């Protein structure tokens, strides 16, 4: 059957259409996305304003049309941290449902981490052993660890690249003082969680998902997206540490010229790099592998599992 996943994220609203059957690998058929940056549309009261909701509804209407055009039989709509943490989340969800008919499922941070972990486990298989999975979104950082399909530990921290850029890094390029302040903040937040994971032992394989990690790996020399899903892409901490000060000194436009960096994400790249560097350092990770599957695929796999057991 043809499934559609509508992901209302902190940076983008992304419709992923796949051909999927229980027990089979989902095959991508279509991708439709719009950069909305909901995490940066929150006002001083942490609410998504009327203009932001109008834009969200318009983008969802476009995604619904794309889903219809592509023959989607079943749509799985969900929202992550930007909607979850908005002070007017209930009003936003009610208006979206009233004007589009879409009832967004708001995932908790722990659910995001668990579903992303499921996707990574299925991608790498049981032979990967104990996995540590890192995912940097627009609004939050998810960390999960385990040996099964359900992680033994999973946390979500408010350390998304969009959120941190908006709240901590004014200026283009940002000042050295603001970079240092954000670095201290990020490391203190992550350090609080390290003990919870370290008690479970050393992972056999460390994996990262998300656009931020893909872009960091690409500028550090990993293969292009055009080279295909099955090319191994790695990010070494040593390479990342050499790039962080260079990124900090660049303007948004200069970062946007780097290989693999999209114009819409270039402003967030330094914040994302600081989070990635801190996580790798504090968890003692010298090298990680980037996984092409993440949260959207996890949502699809969970749905297929339920279909198969019905």
Judged against a pLDDT cut of 60, whether residue 310 lies above it is answered with: no
Residues 6+ apart with CB under 8 A from 298: 114, 115, 116, 117, 118, 119
Confidence at 40, pLDDT banded by 50, 70, 90:
confident
Beta carbons of 209 and 235 less than 8 angstroms apart: no
**How far is it, in rounded angstroms, from Cα 175 to Cα 168?**
10
Helix, strand, coil percentages (3-state) for the chain, rounded to 5, are: 50, 20, 30
Domain with CATH 3.30.420.150 in the chain: 109-295
Confidence at 72, pLDDT banded by 50, 70, 90:
very high
Confidence at 8, pLDDT banded by 50, 70, 90:
very high
In the predicted model, what is the mean pLDDT of the chain? 95
Mean pLDDT lowest for which of 101-105, 139-143, 157-161, 226-230? 226-230
pTM: predicted TM-score of the whole model, two decimal places: 0.95
Q: What is the CATH number of domain 2-106?
A: 3.30.420.40
Judged against a pLDDT cut of 60, whether residue 161 lies above it is answered with: yes
Judged against a pLDDT cut of 90, whether residue 93 lies above it is answered with: yes
Range 263-290 average pLDDT? 96
Helix (H, G, I), strand (E, B) or coil at 155: strand
Helix (H, G, I), strand (E, B) or coil at 234: strand
Range 258-279 average pLDDT? 95
Kindly calculate the radius of gyration of the chain based on its CA atoms and give it in whole angstroms: 19
Q: Does domain 109-295 match CATH 3.40.50.10490?
A: no
Domain with CATH 3.30.420.40 in the chain: 2-106
Task: Check residue 37 and give its pLDDT.
Answer: 85
């Amino acid at each position: 059957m043809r499934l559609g996943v509508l992901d209302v994220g902190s940076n983008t609203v992304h419709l992923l259409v796949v051909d999927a059957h229980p027990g089979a690998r989902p095959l991508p058929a279509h991708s439709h996305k719009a950069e909305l940056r909901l995490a940066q549309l929150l006002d001083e009261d942490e609410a998504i304003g009327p203009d932001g909701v109008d834009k969200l509804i318009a983008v969802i209407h476009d995604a619904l049309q794309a889903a219809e055009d592509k023959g989607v039989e079943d749509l799985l709509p969900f929202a992550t941290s930007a909607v979850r943490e908005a002070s007017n989340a209930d009003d936003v969800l009610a208006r979206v449902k009233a004007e589009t008919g879409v009832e967004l499922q708001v995932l908790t941070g722990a659910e995001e981490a668990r579903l992303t972990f499921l996707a990574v486990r299925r991608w790498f298989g049981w032979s990967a052993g104990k996995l540590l999975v890192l995912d940097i979104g627009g609004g939050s950082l998810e960390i999960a660890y385990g040996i099964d399909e359900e992680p033994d530990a999973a946390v979500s921290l408010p350390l998304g690249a969009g959120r941190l850029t908006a709240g901590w890094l004014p200026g283009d390029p940002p000042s050295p003082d603001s970079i240092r302040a954000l670095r201290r903040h990020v490391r203190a937040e992550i350090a609080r969680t390290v003990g919870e994971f370290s008690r479970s032992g050393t992972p056999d394989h460390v994996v990262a998902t998300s656009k931020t990690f893909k872009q960091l790996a690409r500028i550090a020399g990993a293969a292009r997206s055009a080279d295909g899903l099955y090319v191994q892409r790695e990010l070494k901490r040593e390479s990342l540490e050499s790039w962080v000060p260079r990124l900090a000194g660049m303007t948004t436009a200069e970062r946007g010229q780097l290989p693999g960096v999209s114009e819409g994400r270039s402003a967030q790249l330094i914040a994302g790099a600081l989070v990635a560097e801190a996580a790798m350092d504090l968890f003692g990770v010298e090298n990680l592998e980037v996984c092409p599957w993440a949260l959207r695929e996890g949502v699809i796999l969970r749905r297929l599992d339920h279909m198969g057991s019905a």
